[in-house]
């Protein structure tokens, strides 16, 4: 479980631009967007990311959406480090192929397990951060993974909205 009082940044993984908005790989963006909406926070563009500031449990928390595309998501970590935020005070919200659609779980530390966004974060700050894993399921054939993560959710919008809401609840 996440110790919310220790969290100072929540990074949602995804790809920038409207074309990617509803894709499985963008679930991190969708979840942090919900956190920002709930807290009436406004997104501001920094150099390579969007950031919003909210208050959770009396603490200032930065919501971050890297605008570098998935494979370079870790570039935002240096800005967080300049703000005095250590890896153990970060939650990364990402899609998880190894879990069925809608399965939500929290993990601290670990490897990237083939996820290029996580790999990039790990390259910049090591493995010791929280992950909120949002299950997207896996296609039957391994060679279809790239197309799968870059395709839109097939589930209904209302079903997806309920799960995004549950994921945001886990962060607050």
pTM of this prediction? 0.96
pLDDT per residue over 48-92, tens digit each? Answer: 999 999 999 889 999 999 999 999 999 999 999 999 999 999 999
Closest CA to 117 of 171, 53, 149, 69: 69
Distances (CA, A) of 24 to 5, 58, 73, 126, 146: 29, 32, 16, 25, 11
Nearest of 158, 136, 132, 161 to residue 147 by alpha carbon: 136
Supply the DSSP symbol for 152: B
CA 160, 36, 29, 172 dihedral sign is negative
DSSP state of 23: B
Domains in the chain, please, with CATH?
Answer: 4-171 (3.40.50.1470)
In the chain, which ranges are E strands?
A: 9-12, 44-45, 49-56, 59-66, 90-96, 104-108, 130-135
The CA distance from 44 to 120, in Å, is: 23
Tell me the pLDDT tens digit for each residue of 98-149.
Answer: 999 999 999 999 999 999 999 999 999 999 999 999 999 999 999 999 999 9
Which residues are designated catalytic? 25
């Amino acid at each position: 479980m996440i110790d919310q009082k220790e969290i100072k940044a929540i990074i949602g993984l995804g790809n920038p631009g409207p074309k990617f908005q509803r894709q499985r790989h963008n679930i991190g963006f969708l979840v942090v967007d919900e956190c920002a909406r709930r807290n009436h926070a406004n997104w501001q563009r920094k150099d390579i990311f969007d950031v919003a500031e909210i208050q959770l449990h009396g603490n200032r928390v930065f919501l971050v959406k890297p605008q570098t595309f998935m494979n370079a998501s870790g570039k935002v970590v240096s800005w967080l480090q300049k703000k005095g935020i250590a890896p153990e005070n970060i939650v990364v919200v990402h899609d998880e192929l190894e879990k069925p659609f809608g399965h939500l779980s929290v993990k601290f530390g670990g490897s990237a397990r083939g996820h290029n966004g996580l790999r990039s974060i790990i390259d910049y700050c090591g493995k010791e951060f929280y992950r909120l894993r949002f299950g997207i399921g896996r296609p039957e054939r391994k060679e279809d993974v790239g197309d799968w993560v870059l395709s839109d959710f097939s589930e209904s919008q209302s079903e997806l909205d309920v799960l995004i809401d549950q994921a945001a609840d886990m962060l607050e």
